[in-house]
Amino acid sequence: MSELADYLKSKRQVVDRVLDANLPPAETPPNVIHEAMRYAVLGGGKRIRPIVAIAAAEACGANVDELLVPIAALELIHTYSLVHDDLPALDDDDLRRGQKTTHVVFGEAMGILTGDALLTEAFAWLAKPIAAVDAAHQLRAIREVAVAVDSQGMIGGQVADIIATGTDESTPELLDFIHRNKTSKLLTASVVLGGLLANASDEKIEALRKYGSAIGLAFQIVDDLLDQEEDAATLGKTAGKDVAQGKLTYPALFGTDAARAKVESLLGEALRNAAIIAGPVNYLPGIARFICERRS
Amino acid sequence: MSELADYLKSKRQVVDRVLDANLPPAETPPNVIHEAMRYAVLGGGKRIRPIVAIAAAEACGANVDELLVPIAALELIHTYSLVHDDLPALDDDDLRRGQKTTHVVFGEAMGILTGDALLTEAFAWLAKPIAAVDAAHQLRAIREVAVAVDSQGMIGGQVADIIATGTDESTPELLDFIHRNKTSKLLTASVVLGGLLANASDEKIEALRKYGSAIGLAFQIVDDLLDQEEDAATLGKTAGKDVAQGKLTYPALFGTDAARAKVESLLGEALRNAAIIAGPVNYLPGIARFICERRS
């Protein structure tokens, strides 16, 4: 296994442990909501957002051990968005990460409340006092994350996606709006959060922001490309469904070749900015390559 | 009009102005989510949570003008909980505050996403930097609010309420769990937030916590009493519905007289703790009486 693959695997395990240890135990009353939260979060996932936050914090010289709770909160937010997007009133998905979606197992009411609970828990974790972190920096990190996923961020992207689905208004501007908001902003905020919790300089924070924005958009385009190519068995979700539903995707609008070229260009942008951080431990370039070249 | 009524009215207007000025304009893309957010929040409401936070901050000697954005965030959280509770998969209510519920007007998907957006926006407001407030105090306030409304707080109360509805397990302990979590904890956190943003001493914070807990529980019992008594026209929601659905309520379990006696006892507890604050401007006793004696 490559050094990067080792790194990703070990950090994924660290994040999984932090999530498991900090989510309320399944027997906490009322049990069902805690069972559902743990089911939704602990059922797998690449943990990309916490991992880029860890990599950013490490590249800025931080010891991440104390920072893991707010960093793991990023995964709670990502999972809440998946749980709500999968609901019958939204994408109506029955499978996610190869297992039944939360509302299929626990019912629709509990699907809604589980998403709510994960989003709320995330902010409780983000606001947990950390001795090594300046409180003003931590406040900035909370605000950064909240703004990334608000109605002008991730939720706005989801709304635009719903509006665009099945309409004829498939413009490049709309597609860009959806991708930037639905995926890129939270990934960007994750990278920036790592820098803020590491007390990085404003110059480094800005480089992290550009790096995050590039890998965030690339991540979504690669997702679209994979969805187009893969079958349900490999991907663990109902593949080709975006196309069937008339969802706006990068390859659908520009063609596969242009989508691949865009990913290449974003990778260059990410690598240039990762070089600005220049810490002794810097997995940001490797992660950018991994995101752009992944096959699942 | 009494002095207290004047106070409540003027603070309600202040909160309404802050909400209107700080929610994204309706024409912010994607418009529909911002129209829905504004519809849900600006359609009326007593603004009790922000008002008790203002009263607490004032009683602790703060100038509240700079504190109004995080304080108004409390109303966003309250509104999100109503929007989600009204959804078809939960209480399935068509009317709220005398107008159609958000999902009835904007559709179910938008109902879910509007609640999500209000909860997220609330944390962006809570984390907005304020020069007059110590960042560590503000972090504590954020955590206080998040924990009050998480799966062991407000959401947990809603889950227990769903489980209890229509079952035979109507124990006093379960009722207490539901009331404390569903209503009391956010009201308590609102009062405590006012004290934290005012840089109050730990002794005062603890008195505020006891005050908030007492009025929070009283508020829910009075709600139950009113729901039992009022008709749909006066109250603006489908009255008597809790009883029809077999919802667990204080008067249903203990009788009307015992419920009224409990409210009286909680009022005494609130007044004793309000007296500990003893600032030159202290509307906390008046608000406690108002909550316990209100008729709508």
pLDDT in tens, B17-75: 999 999 999 999 999 999 999 999 999 899 999 999 999 999 999 999 999 999 999 99
How many CA atoms within 13 Å lie on the side-chain side of A179?
Answer: 26
Q: Considering chain B, what percentage of its residues have pLDDT values greater than 70?
A: 92
**Contact across the interface for A37 and B151, Cβ inside 8 Å:** yes
DSSP label of A248: -
Q: Given an 8 Å threshold on Cβ–Cβ distance, is B32 in contact with A163?
A: yes
B121:A150 CB<8 A:
yes
A171 interfacial to chain B (CB closer than 8 Å): no
CA-to-CA distance for B184 and A237, rounded, in angstroms? Answer: 41
Q: pLDDT at residue A232 above 50?
A: no
Asked whether the whole model's pTM tops 0.90, one would answer yes
Contact A116 B120 (CB under 8 A): no
Kindly indicate the confidence band of residue B242, based on its pLDDT and cuts at 50, 70 and 90.
low
pLDDT at B232: 43
Q: Determine, for residues A120 and B87 on separate chains, whether the beta-carbon distance falls below 8 Å.
A: no
Portion 17-46 of A in contact with B at CB < 8 A:
24, 28-30, 32-34, 37
Q: Name chain B contacts of A120, Cβ cutoff 8 Å.
A: 119, 146, 149-151, 155
Q: Nearest by CB to B146, which of A120, A155, A160?
A: A120
Helix axes B154-164 and B172-179, enclosed angle (nearest 10): 140
Collapsing DSSP states into helix, strand and coil, what is residue A99?
A: strand
Q: Is B28 helix (H, G, I), strand (E, B) or coil?
A: coil
Separation in Å, CA of B154 to nearest CA in chain A: 9
Q: Which of A170-184, B114-128, B160-174 has the highest mean pLDDT?
A: B114-128
What residues in B contact A151, CB-CB < 8 Å? 24, 28, 33-34, 37, 117, 120-121
pLDDT of residue B231: 45
Q: What is the set of domains in chain A, with CATH numbers?
A: 3-293 (1.10.600.10)
Quote the CA–CA distance of A97 and B77 in Å, as a whole number: 31
> Are the beta carbons of A267 and A126 closer than 8 angstroms?
no
In tens, the pLDDT along B183-195 reads 899 999 999 999 9
Confidence class for position A245, pLDDT limits 50, 70, 90: low
Quick one: pLDDT at residue A294? 86
Mean pLDDT for all residues in chain A: 92
CB-count exposure of residue B10 (10 Å: 0-12, 13-18, 19+): exposed
pLDDT at A193 over 60: yes
> H or E element: which one contains B197?
helix B185-197
pLDDT for position A228: 82
pLDDT of residue B164: 85
Chain B (135-164) residues lying within 8 Å, Cβ to Cβ, of chain A: 135-136, 138-140, 142-143, 146-147, 149-152, 155-156, 158-160, 162-163
A5 CA: distance to closest CA in chain B (Å): 34
